[in-house]
């Protein structure tokens, strides 16, 4: 089975004349259509808001597109908070969901008025100590433990996750927070990653809605929002069926009316923190085949490597590959598609059936729009590549330049060696 790239070979050749591979390419049209569909799917909930998971694709140009559809920012670090603020987000536009949080990050989150989502009950005293008080609006992250199942299928094991409070802890946390002046409460949970089923959100929602009702009854807390977090996945493999966000939204609505409305909580706002779903399918890593090797296996060496897309090396994750211009050619060759890192796991594909690849062919690695560029790193002195936006009208724009050697050496600028290191880079 095949996946269709969102760009033609002709357009890629045009882009590569100006910007050499490798680079990440994003599809503005796809991003906009998806954001619009999400907004419509949850339009039935008056307070609904999507907080885009900045960690997935931390590029201001892309986040600004989502802001046009009412999206805020889900941040988990100081620099992500700073980016959100620079983009004009303020107060309730920002959700700060972090763990093992340094003091200065809580201080900054309070300074810009972000909604703080506490990961652990011990963070209550820590937050109060470092910022001087507990905010009037606050959220707690919930982890029910055990296995998370949909029907008889095990989706994930929250009990092994480092995130969130136990059932007993979240009830105690609400009581403590209320005694310290909190007036509005939220609940957050992330129980499974990259689910490709329309049942995940409705099932998660039922768990959270039922806990919310009990929390209101037992603690008297005013719960104003419930955050379903992320977890809606994408079909990385061509034989997978994509989630239908409208079916998902309708499934959540039914549970909302079954659980929350009868409990007098029909005004509770729903939030989501989607990253992969918002950007994953609308970004790709474009790389050029530059070497071939014939030993015990057939290898194709690319000018990209795991520093540009870590997921296959880190998780064994599947990313579909299209050899541009050979979309209809038979996949009658078996290759390991590799990068140039001094690590044997630097492979984008292992024993992958592909058309015959010639040197100079452009390879399009699908579904790299989330957790692609953002997970990049500089091992082996590799430099992060550019990010380019393919606009709706067919034009394109560089939205992040490629790193230069000067960038790699920049943190030595306070030492005498810096001038020698950058001497060649400046030539």
Say what the pLDDT of residue 260 is.
Answer: 98
Give the pLDDT band of residue 427 (cuts 50, 70, 90).
Answer: low
Give the pLDDT band of residue 153 (cuts 50, 70, 90).
Answer: low
pTM for the whole structure: 0.95
- pLDDT tens digit string along 199-244? 999 999 999 999 999 999 999 999 999 999 999 999 999 999 999 9
- pLDDT tens digit string along 279-315? 999 999 999 999 999 999 999 999 999 999 999 999 9
- The tokens describing 367, both together, are 């579904």
Say what the pLDDT of residue 193 is.
Answer: 85
Place of tokens 């078996």: 334
Q: What is the DSSP letter of 362?
A: E
The answer to whether residue 161 scores a pLDDT higher than 90 is no
The answer to whether residue 152 scores a pLDDT higher than 70 is no
- Around Cβ 331, how many Cβ atoms within 10 Å? 13
Give the pLDDT band of residue 156 (cuts 50, 70, 90).
Answer: low
Query: Measured between alpha carbons, how far is 136 from 96 in angstroms, rounded to an integer?
Result: 15
Say what the pLDDT of residue 165 is.
Answer: 94
Closest CA to 96 of 111, 82, 116, 113: 116
- The tokens describing 340, both together, are 């140039």
Q: What is the mean pLDDT of residues 339-368?
A: 97
Q: What's the chain's average pLDDT? A: 95
Say what the pLDDT of residue 225 is.
Answer: 98
Distance of CA 302 to the CA centre of its chain: 25
The answer to whether residue 28 scores a pLDDT higher than 90 is yes
Backbone angles phi, psi at 23, to 5 degrees: -155, 160
C-beta of residue 38 within 8 angstroms of C-beta of residue 279: no
- pLDDT tens digit string along 322-337? 999 999 999 999 999 9
- pLDDT tens digit string along 128-145? 999 999 999 999 999 988
**Cβ-proximal residues to 362 (8 Å cutoff; 6+ apart), any chain:** 9, 12, 13, 16, 21, 286, 287, 288, 289, 323, 324, 325
- pLDDT tens digit string along 380-413? 999 999 999 999 999 999 999 999 999 999 999 8
Catalytic residue among 73, 140, 331, 342, which? 342
Place of tokens 């936006």: 389
Tell me how long the chain is. 427
The answer to whether residue 147 scores a pLDDT higher than 80 is no
Query: Measured between alpha carbons, how far is 210 from 203 in angstroms, rounded to an integer?
Result: 11
Give the pLDDT band of residue 154 (cuts 50, 70, 90).
Answer: low
Say what the pLDDT of residue 402 is.
Answer: 97
The answer to whether residue 1 scores a pLDDT higher than 80 is no
CA dihedral angle for residue 92, residue 93, residue 98, residue 104, rounded to 10 degrees: -80
Closest CA to 312 of 344, 275, 353: 344
Say what the pLDDT of residue 198 is.
Answer: 95
Say what the pLDDT of residue 191 is.
Answer: 85
- pLDDT above 70 covers a percentage of the chain that reads 98
Say what the pLDDT of residue 420 is.
Answer: 83
DSSP alpha helix (H) spans, 78-199: 78-86, 103-111, 123-131, 167-179
Closest CA to 52 of 83, 26, 16: 83
CATH number listed for the domain at residues 281-412: 2.40.37.10
- DSSP assignment of 373-400 equals GGG---GGG----EEEEE-TTS-EEEEE
- The tokens describing 231, both together, are 């977890």
Q: What is the mean pLDDT of residues 41-62?
A: 98
Say what the pLDDT of residue 228 is.
Answer: 97
Closest CA to 211 of 142, 124, 147: 142
- The tokens describing 187, both together, are 């609940």
CATH number listed for the domain at residues 27-280: 3.20.20.10
Q: Is 414 a catalytic site residue? A: no
How wide is the angle at C-alpha 242 spanned by C-alphas 239 and 243, nearest 5°? 145
Domain residue ranges in the chain: 27-280, 281-412
Query: Measured between alpha carbons, how far is 199 from 7 in angstroms, rounded to an integer?
Result: 32
Query: Measured between alpha carbons, how far is 193 from 230 in angstroms, rounded to an integer?
Result: 8
- Around Cβ 227, how many Cβ atoms within 10 Å? 26
């Amino acid at each position: 089975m095949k996946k269709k790239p969102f760009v033609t070979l002709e357009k890629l050749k045009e882009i590569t004349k100006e910007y050499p591979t490798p680079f990440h390419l994003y599809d503005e049209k796809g991003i906009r259509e998806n954001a619009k569909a999400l907004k419509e799917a949850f339009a039935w909930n008056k307070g609904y808001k999507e907080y885009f998971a900045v960690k997935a694709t931390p590029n201001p140009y892309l986040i600004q597109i989502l802001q046009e559809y009412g999206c805020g920012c889900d941040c988990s670090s100081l620099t992500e908070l700073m980016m959100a603020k620079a983009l004009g987000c303020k107060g309730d536009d920002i959700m700060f969901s972090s763990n093992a949080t340094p003091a200065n990050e809580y201080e900054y989150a309070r300074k810009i008025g972000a909604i703080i989502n506490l990961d652990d009950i011990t963070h209550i005293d820590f937050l109060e100590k470092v910022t001087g008080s507990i905010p009037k609006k606050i959220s707690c992250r919930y982890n029910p433990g055990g296995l998370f199942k949909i029907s008889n299928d095990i989706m994930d094991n929250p009990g092994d996750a480092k995130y969130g409070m136990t059932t007993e802890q979240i009830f105690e946390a609400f009581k403590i927070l209320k005694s310290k002046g909190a007036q509005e409460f939220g609940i957050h949970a992330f129980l499974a990653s990259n689910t490709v089923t329309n049942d995940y959100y409705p099932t998660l929602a039922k768990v959270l809605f039922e806990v919310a009702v009990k929390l209101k009854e037992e603690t008297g807390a005013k719960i104003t929002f419930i955050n379903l977090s992320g977890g809606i996945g994408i079909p990385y493999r061509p034989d997978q069926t994509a989630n239908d966000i409208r079916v998902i939204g309708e499934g959540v609505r039914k549970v909302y009316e079954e659980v929350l409305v009868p409990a007098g909580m029909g005004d509770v706002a729903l939030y989501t923190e989607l990253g992969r779903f918002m950007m994953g399918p609308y970004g790709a890593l474009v790389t050029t085949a530059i070497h071939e090797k014939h030993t015990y296996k057939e290898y194709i060496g690319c000018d990209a490597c795991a520093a540009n897309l870590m997921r296959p090396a880190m998780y064994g994750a599947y990313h579909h590959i299209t050899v541009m211009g050979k979309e209809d050619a038979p996949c009658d060759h078996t290759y390991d598609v590799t990068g140039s890192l001094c690590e044997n796991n630097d492979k984008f594909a292992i024993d992958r059936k592909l058309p015959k690849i010639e040197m100079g062919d452009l390879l399009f690695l699908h579904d790299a729009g989330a957790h692609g560029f953002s997970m990049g790193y500089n091992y082996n002195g590799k430099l992060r590549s550019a990010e380019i936006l393919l606009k709706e009208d067919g034009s394109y724009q560089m939205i992040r330049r490629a790193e230069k050697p000067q960038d790699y050496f920049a943190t030595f600028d306070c030492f005498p060696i810096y001038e020698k290191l950058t001497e060649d880079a400046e030539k």
